[in-house]
Structure formats: structure tokens, C-alpha cells
Amino acid sequence: ETGVTQTPRHLVMGMTNKKSLKCEQHLGHNAMYWYKQSAKKPLELMFVYSLEERVENNSVPSRFSPECPNSSHLFLHLHTLQPEDSALYLCASSQDGRGVGGYTFGSGTRLTVV
Amino acid sequence: GQSLEQPSEVTAVEGAIVQINCTYQTSGFYGLSWYQQHDGGAPTFLSYNALDGLEETGRFSSFLSRSDSYGYLLLQELQMKDSASYFCAVSPNNAGNMLTFGGGTRLMVKP
């Protein structure tokens, strides 16, 4: 149990499907993040929300759409994905964006696009 | 932008000491972090250095030299359970202040 819970753990979807990834934290953190982890590549920051406002987009394709309804919940809506989007999607939260106290990561959603 | 370099793989034996190096280039710098990730698991926070020098936490220590843009993670008395990937990450000193991660070092501990 990491304090950050992600669902589902595994997801297989077709290129025309619409699905959503969910992340939940009850650590009282102010910032939440979506990272993409692909094989043999560094963790890539996708989106950041600080106090429920998006502060970083990082040139992510529009087929990925984040939503942060409150400070404890974060969603990643997926639509018309490509096979190269198959990866581990990690959610994280932190009190300090600079990482002084560390980021707390969820276990991730393993996404496969077929 | 930011870039970080760390070895892709390191192998060591149980009981040994291993050092994982990280060099970085960043337009602004606030601190260097280290994370551990076991296969199929979440990255977990190990340490954070904002000032030069060595920080020790049990069997793990982390070092930073800001003038050399260099840091390392030192693991002592290696155990089999230390087999994992280790990531360094920099906190840039600019608006937003999000972590940028290196590609990770896969550590294999052998009996």
C-alpha cells in the first residue's frame, strides 16, 4: 500500500475505445502528476496539477486528457490511442513540487493498445 | 532543458558495496533525488540532496557535488532484495519545479 492508489492495474484497449485511468491519494498532498514509463526510456512527465490547477502540459497529444476534480483525485481520459501509447502510466503526488519530501507513486496502470 | 546520465546496468554480489553515478545538465538546479523501483512496482523515494556532501540513511547514502553537476547513490552490504532499478531525478529551479528523471540503472545482485 503506497498511499497512492491507481485503477485499473492492467488495461487492454482498442484504438477506437475510450477509457479512463483513475488515481487517488489521501496523503494531504497538494500536487498530483501523470508520468509515462516506456521500456528503456526515462520517466516522462505528462501532466501536473497543483492545488487542482494544471500547471504543465508538456506537449502531450490531445488523445490524452487529464482531469482533477479535487485535490485527492486525478483522472487520465484516453481516446483514439495508438499502439505506441502502450506503456506503464504512473500517478504520483507530493507536498513539495521540488521533491524535497519525495514524490509518492502509485503502482501504475499497464496499458496495452491493440 | 534538463538531461541526466546514469549507467544502464550494474551487477554486484551480495555483501558488496556498489556506487551508481548520475551526472546532470540543467538550466537551473534545486536538488537531486533518488528512487528505487522493483519490477512491477511503484518507484519509491530514497533520498534527496540539495547541498553538497553525503547524506546517509542506513545502508544507503547519497552524495551531491553541485559544482561538478554530479551525484551518486551508494549501497552497502548489498542484499538480494536490492535488485531493482534506481533512478536519479533533478528538481529544476524554475516555475513549476517538477522532477525530471534519468533513464534508470538496473542493479542485479548475485549470490
Chain B contact set for A51 (CB, 8 A): none
> Which residue of chain A is at minimal alpha-carbon distance from B51?
A100
pLDDT value at residue B93: 66
**Residues of B near A (CB-CB distance < 8 A)?**
4, 30-31, 33, 35, 40-45, 48, 50, 87, 89, 91, 96-104
**CA count, 13 A, side-chain hemisphere, B5:** 5
State how far the alpha carbon of B101 is from the alpha carbons of A63, B14, B38, B98, in Å.
24, 27, 16, 10
* Residue B98 pLDDT > 90: no
The cell numbers describing B34, all together, are 533518488
Q: Is the dihedral of CA A80, A84, A86, A92 positive or negative?
A: negative
Give the pLDDT mean for A1-8.
Answer: 84
8 A C-beta contact, residue A23 and residue A91: yes
Phi, psi torsion values for B7, nearest 5 degrees: -65, 150
Percent of chain B's residues with pLDDT above 70: 95
Contact call for A45 and B4, based on CB within 8 A: no
Contact call for A41 and B45, based on CB within 8 A: no
List B35's β-bridge partners, or say none: B45, B87
> Which residue of chain B is at minimal alpha-carbon distance from A100?
B48
Closest C-alpha to B20, from B29, B9, B28: B9
Contact call for B98 and A102, based on CB within 8 A: no
- Per the model's pLDDT, the better-predicted residue between A1 and B80 turns out to be B80
Q: What is the pLDDT of residues A82-97, one digit of tens each?
A: 999 999 999 999 987 6
Which residue type is seen at B12? A
Contact call for B42 and A40, based on CB within 8 A: no
3-class SS of residue A85: helix
Report strand pairing: A10-13 vs A53-56: unpaired
8 A C-beta contact, residue B97 and residue B27: no
* Residue A80 pLDDT > 80: yes
Contact call for B99 and A99, based on CB within 8 A: yes
pLDDT value at residue B3: 87
8 A C-beta contact, residue B92 and residue B29: yes
Query: Distance between CA B4 and CA B104 in Å, rounded?
Result: 10
Tell me which DSSP letter residue A46 carries.
E
pLDDT value at residue A23: 98
